[in-house]
Amino acid sequence: MAATATPSTQIVPPKSCISASHRISRSSIVCFTNETKATSSTKLRSSSFLPATQSFAKIYDCNRLRLERRGIKAMSGASDKQTLPGLPVDLRGKRAFIAGIADDNGYGWAIAKSLAAAGAEILVGTWVPALNIFETSLRRGKFDESRVLPDGSLMEITKVYPLDAVFDCPEDVPEDVKTNKRYAGSSKWTVKEVAESVKQDFGTIDILVHSLANGPEVSKPILETSRNGYLAAISASSYSFVSLLKHFVPIMNPGGSTISLTYIASEKIIPGYGGGMSSAKAALESDTKVLAFEAGRKHNVRVNTISAGPLRSRAAKAIGFIDMMIDYSLENAPLQKELTADEVGNAAAFLASPLASAITGAVVYVDNGLNAMGVGVDSPVFRDLDIPKAQKS
């Protein structure tokens, strides 16, 4: 089934090949409005981004009509504090640390892009064994196409830190991990050490994103899950958020925002999502409420979690039935369309912005409304009912 997608940040494809070494100076704003107006030119450090005879403004004019009547648009310009039309998601001057990005295919990457599109500076924490291939891919331009922001520039990642959020401090790391060749060449990658490094490098942050989950026995029913497998899922997928807040909240500016990612298996039965992962997501949501109280009272920092629908990411494919879950959602959700990573990224940008200054301790569903359903309307028992279907576009 197909339907018109909800408005999302428009991504303008590049007009020419962009080298990963070209750094682009820009600040962007995601703005909610009902009109499309002219936007000012982006300042570029790379002369090869555009032909010498063709200005960015001219290229943008060619694409501007595509944004007509859209709910979200992106703006960029030399003036960081110009008056903006509509209701802006303005993160200029903010710094975000996103824990758990290892490729350009998941929700963590999409969140980073939306935050960058709104003007935030991006720092990333990448799992140590995946660090080398991630940095190599980034350096060689493998991610350039997916780095393109709505204004045509590339998302810049200011710094990538090695991170293994299963370990709080160096004393927690067992000897077999210390000597593992996959960790060779990396240092200061426990949560405490990374927070200290970020403080030393940048002083403070404003946004903290937890995009981490791992269940070594996720394909096993919970009755067949070992104690070690269950606790490993809780440690990597739930307590890691507690640890991140414990060590990062002290370096967060007042009014800051923290966001994690959860899944509806925390409250509903999802066969196949085993190994203690459903329990880990339930713990994550419970902790979100308690952490919202503690971090709010002590540090004036907000804590929310996004319950995202199924996505064909590399991580989700490891579960083995992601395609079935996407098909199920298409048939049964109120909005009959496939969820995109950008839609989750845009929700995160909103939650991180001053527009959500009174929202904390919340589970925000970004799943086309599937969470609201009590039954699967594609069941044969409903074949005689006149179930409305989305109009094909």
The amino acid sitting at 238 is S
Cβ neighbours of residue 42 closer than 8 Å, sequence gap 6 or more: 24, 26, 56, 76, 77, 151, 152, 153
Give the C-alpha separation, 49 to 59, whole Å: 12
Give the C-alpha separation, 156 to 203, whole Å: 19
Q: Which of 113, 70, 106, 67 is nearest to 91 (CA)?
A: 113
What are the C-alpha distances in Å from 269 to residues 34, 264, 274, 374? 40, 8, 10, 12
Q: Which of 187, 214, 186 is nearest to 319 (CA)?
A: 214
- If DSSP codes are grouped into helix, strand and coil, which group holds residue 71? coil
Pair 305, 262: CB distance under 8 Å:
yes
Give the C-alpha separation, 265 to 114, whole Å: 26
The pair of structure tokens assigned to 335 is: 């909005």
Pair 184, 71: CB distance under 8 Å:
no
Element (H, E) at 292: helix 277-299
Active site residues: 238, 281
Pair 124, 159: CB distance under 8 Å:
yes
Pair 277, 218: CB distance under 8 Å:
yes
How large is the C-alpha radius of gyration of the chain?
21
Contacts 24+ apart (CB under 8 A), 320-326: 320/219, 320/272, 321/272, 325/270
Pair 190, 167: CB distance under 8 Å:
yes
- If DSSP codes are grouped into helix, strand and coil, which group holds residue 15? coil
- If DSSP codes are grouped into helix, strand and coil, which group holds residue 104? coil
Give the C-alpha separation, 331 to 388, whole Å: 11
